[in-house]
Amino acid sequence: MIIRPPTIIVSLIICSCGARNKETQTKAPPPAAVSIEQVEKQKAIYYDEYPATVAALNQVDLRAQVTGYITGIFFKDGQRIRAGQRLYDIDRQQYQANLDQAIANLNVSKANLAKAQQDADRYADLLRQDAIAKQVYDHAIDDLQGAKMQVKAAESNVRNIEATVKYSFIDAPFTGTIGISLVKKGALVTANQTLLNTISSDEPIAVDVQVDQKEIARFSQLQKNSFARDSTFA
């Protein structure tokens, strides 16, 4: 019986602290006031009309990069096209024949290089056995170096002609709208001179509006009023 009173006192103290904590939590600051405006779609009360010109932000002229006859046109004037779409073909028979010849020359150069390498290796063994003069070995090394240079030149020629064959295909550089073709099938085009067509981007586009200089002051005032109204709502 002597121990119970302190136990009751401790319980009362804990309950009292809990009550104060609950009271503190219930006194949180009220939420901030927020203004809400209902936005509705309506017709404009006043508007002005001005002449304007729609212009593409991205426009590219298509020109032939090789000389030849147009053998294929794969679009309709004013058609929307996608990036990479085939637009024109230029006769590539001559360029393909040149490529085939260049590849054949490369193969011959590689065969000569293989023979020169074998000769150099054989003469190197004979030179170590002191069976030939060093001059013969030196000539074999010179022939080997010359064969290597011929292979490099032949490879470069093949790459150049491959690019020429590739230029006979004209593809769309980006998605947009193509204009009216300035050449017809069978027409002769000249490299870096003949303009074939124009491609314009559809999105985004720009609009050039022609406004009288006297109207600029009124527009500036309207813009200031708009900023003032937005600041008030904020």
pLDDT of residue 9 exceeding 70: no
Q: N- to C-terminal Cα distance for the chain?
A: 69
Residues 6+ positions from 58 with CB-CB distance below 8 Å: 174, 176, 200, 201
Tell me the mean pLDDT in the region 115-143. Answer: 93
Residue 1 domain-assigned (yes or no)? no
When the pLDDT of each residue in the chain is averaged and rounded to a whole number, the result is 84
Tell me the mean pLDDT in the region 219-225. Answer: 77
Structural domain span for residue 215:
48-91+172-223
The verdict on pTM exceeding 0.95 is: no
Residues 96 and 199 in one domain: no
Residue 35 domain-assigned (yes or no)? no
Residues 52 and 160 in one domain: no
> What is the rounded CA–CA span in Å between residue 106 and residue 151?
6
Q: List pLDDT tens digits, range 72-97.
A: 999 999 999 999 999 999 999 989 99
**Tokens (6 digits) for 122:** 């054989």
148 CB-contact burial (10 Å; exposed 0-12 / middle 13-18 / buried 19+): middle
Split into its structural domains, the chain has a count of: 2
Tell me the mean pLDDT in the region 56-69. Answer: 92
pLDDT at 62: 96
pLDDT-based confidence at residue 11 (cuts at 50, 70, 90): very low
